[in-house]
Chain A
Amino acid sequence: MSDKSNKLPEELQLFTSAHVKYIQSLDTRKDEYDYWLTEHLRLNGLYWGLTALHILGHPEALPRAETIDFVLSCQHENGGFGAAPGHDAHMLSTVSAVQILALVDAFDDLESRGKGKAQVGKYIANLQNRQTGTFAGDEWGEEDTRFLYGAFNALSLLGLLDLVDVDKAVDHIVSCANFDGGYGSGPGAESHASQIFTCVGALTIAGRKDLIDTDRLGRWLSERQVAGGGLNGRPEKKEDVCYSWWVLSSLEMIGKTHWIDRDSLIAFILSCQDPDRGGLSDRPGNMVDVWHTVFSITGLSILGYPGLQPVDEVYCLPKSTIERVLGR
């Protein structure tokens, strides 16, 4: 590992080997109550951890064969994936499954040993509200632009975007736009950085960035940077390291990453590390978790922090994965 060979001063170092070990340790914590309480996020967690490892340049740190086996063990007959074996299918875990399979180049396994791409596509497409264009998370009907983005993300990776009504979904996103240039979880909802990521991401996948008020949105997003260098998700809120992803990826998609201060954001992200045991937390000194860890590292990647693999700002996967899957 290259931590020590780094010429950067201690406070500007990324403790790569500690983070790799932390992520590797996540599935060995079966004697901790929290491990069981978070089983409903297992597949998502695997996506977060694996993406972080790939961006850190350690894709081999989790075993590929077991990863694929686990993902396929979460799939239901209807094509959808649950968060873990025995958990109901849901859009969020289904998207994580597709992302993981893309990451480890295992769509072939999905065809040969799983229910196949077409069935996954059908599961996702059935969750579209054909009247409004938006998507539900599962059969119980909660709708949110998060699910719309997830559907676009997974379907486009599978090459099945034509299964859904893209134009209607785009109309729906437009109806979620606010005067400040941002987007909310649905029509009428307040602008929120993570919902902006989902809406701008979906519009990018649909090839409709022309519908974004990039100037106004860019101003709003750049105002998310607060005095300490970190980013918040809404006006007058505290900074949180996960917005290093939601805000930055959105700025990147509209070509305005340079509208925030790179160096102070890097310093803030690095201050959220646990240097000894690895992982990053929402703010310095708090509990680390794999969610904040991945979105810190992908944020650093967008900022061009040395030694990291480039991340795709739309899919939150390595650029190399997107090039391989989408042939870009």
Chain B
Amino acid sequence: MAEHGGSHGGIARTSRERTASERQADLDRIARYRALEDEIRTRVAASGDSAAAVDLFHLTSKLLRLNPEYYTIWNVRRRSLTSGLLSRRSAACSPSRASLSGSRTATTTPPSASSSSTSSTATPHDQPSPTAGRSGTLVDDNDGKKDAELLEGELRFTFPLLLESPKCYWLWNYRLWILGQAIERLPTAAARRMWEDELGLASKMLTKDQRNFHAWGYRRHVVNQLESPALGGSSMVEAEFAYTDRMTRANLSNFSAWHRRSKLIPRLLDERGADDLTRKSFLDQELGTVNQLLSVDPKDQSLWYYHQFLMLNLLSPVGRPTITPAFSLEDRLSYIMREIEGIKDLLESYEDEELDDDDRDAVKQIYKALLDYTLALCQLEGRQPDGQERELVAGWLRELRVLDPMRDGRWTDLERDYGLRG
């Protein structure tokens, strides 16, 4: 396997024919690139004194600017930081301790000979620290100032690379590792400042590409860390919820932001200590907002998914965090029926009209929601659809067969499941 898209090994259809001079230029670039690689490999094998470590570090900068996907070189860079450039720490701090998700107990053997010697050669120089703790194991460093400069330098170094390659896993990864080092090596306040700046970077990247999967994941990590005791943090759920407000307002089709909102809501209400009445009015407000948006653009899948999220709190609250856990079955049924009626109203503006493509997309979404919610309502009540519901369902399915023939198999299965065929 392996993941992620992009044009791996891509050769442009138009650029496959090169002139002789273009080919020569490529050969020259290749020679320079490989020479740089060779130099790094030679120095890694030699793994000499600290001056050599500085040289090696600078060589990795050169190569990573040419190719930020070269994960082994990022690892060389990490090792040159931990084995010489950053201040030495007690042997208790192994590289994997810096892992953000933190608590992996299984340690792995570093793969290259040069790295496996790192911790053992470092140990004799270290004195046991009397204050050995999360960030307090610095030995030959003046208050972590040098480390702070180095780590900040790393963030500056990777920033333009990230702007150029915003979907490069290794780059995001490396930044997180650097920030993890900050937690381990710097005083809490200094580390926290770096992480706070990083939240700014995550926002910036999401302004440039609102759906960037990496940037959203990164933001989640950064917020988790900023909330953690390691950074003297506290909950940021209100601020993050407000962020999803801004992001969904800027672009209603930004499902990434709607998704994030759906994940924050249960926590938000818990942390607000919301009582039953507050929760009810929160649900009313969210439904009101999304229904209003749907009345403007009923073809938008993102809005419908968010609506579905809200409805699931009513339709199948067991095993899910609910917005309104105190709702009785009657409450839930009345909400669901009200929503179904509201969705039926959306259909009115399309009746007796000539439908264009957008209209057809809208009507499709409306029928799908009606189907979904009507059948779920029956399930909730533990019954089969009654005569009138069966008629409605069969009608919507007939429409969907015409409007959405791509998913014909789905409509057929539904007809079969509810005995509506023929």
Point out the residues of chain A lying under 8 angstroms from B8, CB to CB: 38, 41, 44-45, 289-291
Q: B284 near A: Cβ within 8 Å?
A: no
A45-B8, A287-B12 given; A190·B255 CB < 8 A? yes
Nearest chain A CB to B421's CB is how many angstroms away? 15
Q: Given A41-B2, A140-B177, A142-B169, answer yes or no on A222-B407 (Cβ-Cβ < 8 Å).
A: yes
Structural contact, A88 and B72, CB atoms closer than 8 A? yes
B71 at the interface (CB under 8 A from A): yes
Question: Could you tell me how many residues of chain B have their Cβ less than 8 Å away from some Cβ of chain A?
Answer: 80
A128/B211 in contact, CB under 8 A: no
Contact of B220 with A90 in the complex, beta carbons under 8 Å:
no
Closest A residue to B102 by beta carbon equals A141
Is B98 an interface position by the 8 A CB rule?
A: yes
Total of A-B residue pairs, C-beta within 8 Å:
240
Which 3 pairs from chain A and chain B are nearest by CB?
Answer: A141-B99, A258-B409, A261-B406
What would be 18 A-B contacts, judged by CB atoms less than 8 Å apart?
A34-B10, A34-B11, A48-B2, A78-B108, A83-B72, A87-B72, A131-B104, A139-B110, A141-B180, A179-B320, A180-B308, A185-B217, A218-B410, A242-B5, A264-B406, A279-B11, A281-B13, A291-B9
Report if A37 contacts B (CB, 8 A): yes
Q: Does B253 contact A (CB under 8 A)?
A: yes
Which of B197-205, B287-295, B299-307, B328-336 binds A? B299-307
- Cα(A178)–Cα(B261), bound, Å: 12
- From A38, A127, A179, B108 is in contact (CB under 8 Å) with A127
Nearest-CB distance from B181 to chain A (Å)?
Answer: 11
Question: Which A residues are CB-close (under 8 A) to B19?
Answer: none
Please determine whether B1 and A153 come into contact, CB atoms closer than 8 angstroms: yes
Query: Quick check: is B112 within 8 A (CB to CB) of the other chain?
Result: yes
Could you tell me if B5 and A190 are in contact, using CB atoms closer than 8 angstroms? no
State whether A194 and B4 are in contact (beta carbons under 8 Å apart), knowing that A33-B26, A80-B111, A234-B255 are contacts in the complex. yes
Interface residue A318 (Cβ < 8 Å from any Cβ of B):
no
Is B101's CB within 8 Å of the partner chain A? yes
Residues of B within 8 A of A82 (CB): 72, 111
Also in contact, A261 and B407, with CB within 8 A (given A78-B108, A82-B111, A90-B71): yes
Q: In the complex, A287→B173 CA distance in Å?
A: 27
Residues of A close to B2: CB separation below 8 A:
41, 44, 47-48, 92-93, 95-96
CA distance A233 to B176 in the complex (A): 26
- A131 touching B105 in the complex, CB below 8 Å, given contacts A142-B173, A150-B1: yes
**Is B140 located at the chain interface by the 8 A CB criterion?**
no
- B177: min CB distance to chain A, Å: 6
Map CB proximity to A onto B221-244 as digits: 1 under 8 Å, 0 otherwise.
000000000000000000000000
Q: Say yes or no: A40-B70 contact (C-beta < 8 A), given A141-B177, A189-B217, A291-B9.
A: yes
CB-nearest residue of chain A to B13 = A274
Indicate whether A131 sits within 8 Å of B103 (C-beta atoms), given known contacts A78-B111, A88-B75, A140-B95: yes
Which residues from A are CB-within-8-Å of B33? Answer: 33, 36-37
| Closest Cβ–Cβ distance, residue B196 to chain A (whole Å) | 20
Partner of B5, one of A77, A88, A240: A240
14 extra A-B contacts, CB within 8 A, seeds A126-B109, A222-B410, A287-B10: A31-B27, A33-B33, A83-B72, A88-B71, A90-B71, A129-B104, A140-B177, A189-B220, A190-B259, A222-B407, A225-B406, A234-B213, A237-B211, A289-B8
B11 and A136 within 8 A (CB): no
* Docked complex Cα distance between A259 and B72 (Å): 42
Q: List the A residue with the shortest CB-CB distance to B74.
A: A140
- B30 sits at the interface (CB 8 A): yes
Contact of A123 with B by CB under 8 A: yes
B220 touches A141 (CB 8 A): no
In the complex, are the beta carbons of B29 and A33 less than 8 A apart? yes
Which residues of chain A have C-beta atoms less than 8 A from B344's C-beta?
none
Roughly how many angstroms separate A277 CA and B10 CA in the complex, as a whole number?
A: 13
Secondary structure class of chain B's binding surface, majority of residues? helix
Task: Mark each residue of chain A from 80 to 110: 1 if its CB lies under 8 Å from any CB of chain B, else 0.
Answer: 1011001111101101100100000000000
Residues of B within 8 Å of A259, CB to CB, are 407, 409-410, 413
Assuming the contacts A139-B111, A194-B4, A288-B10, asked whether A129 and B16 have C-beta atoms less than 8 A apart, the reply is: no
Between B2, B67, B109, B217, the greatest number of chain A beta carbons within 10 A of the residue's beta carbon is seen for B2
Chain B CB within 8 A of A304 CB: no
Q: How far is the CA of A109 from the CA of B177 in the complex (A)?
A: 37
What is the chain A residue whose CB lies nearest that of B2? A44
Q: Is the CB of B71 within 8 A of A31?
A: no
Cβ contacts A174-218/B at 8 Å (1 or 0 each): 000011100001101111101000100000000000000000001
Bound Cα distance from A31 to B22, whole angstroms: 11
Which residues of B lie under 8 Å from residue A47 when comparing CB positions?
Answer: 1-2
Structural contact, B211 and A234, CB atoms closer than 8 A: yes
CA distance A234 to B212 in the complex (A): 11
Nearest-neighbour CB distance to chain B for A157, whole angstroms, equals: 12
- Once bound together, how far apart are the Cα atoms of A290 and B5, in whole Å? 11
Q: Is the CB–CB distance between A32 and B11 below 8 Å?
A: yes
- Bound together, the chains give a CA A223 to CA B305 distance in angstroms of 11
A146-B5 Cα distance, complex, nearest whole Å:
13
Report B309-341 CB contacts with A as 1/0, cut-off 8 Å. 100100000001000000000000000000000
Judge whether A236 and B301 touch: CB under 8 Å. yes
A185 / chain B contacts, CB cutoff of 8 Å = 213, 217
Q: Which of A35, A143, A188, A287 contacts B220 (CB 8 A)?
A: A188
Which one, B34, B213, B254, B262, contacts A179 given CB within 8 A?
B262
Complex Cα distance A185/B4, Å? 12
- Chain A: which residue is nearest B220 at the CB level? A188
Minimal beta-carbon separation of A148 from chain B (angstroms): 11
Q: Quick one: closest B residue to A84, CB to CB?
A: B72
Structural contact, B111 and A88, CB atoms closer than 8 A? yes
Partner of A40, one of B72, B211, B409: B72
Q: Does A15 reach chain B (CB closer than 8 Å)?
A: no
Contact B259 A287 (CB under 8 A): no
Nearest A residue to B254, CB-CB = A236
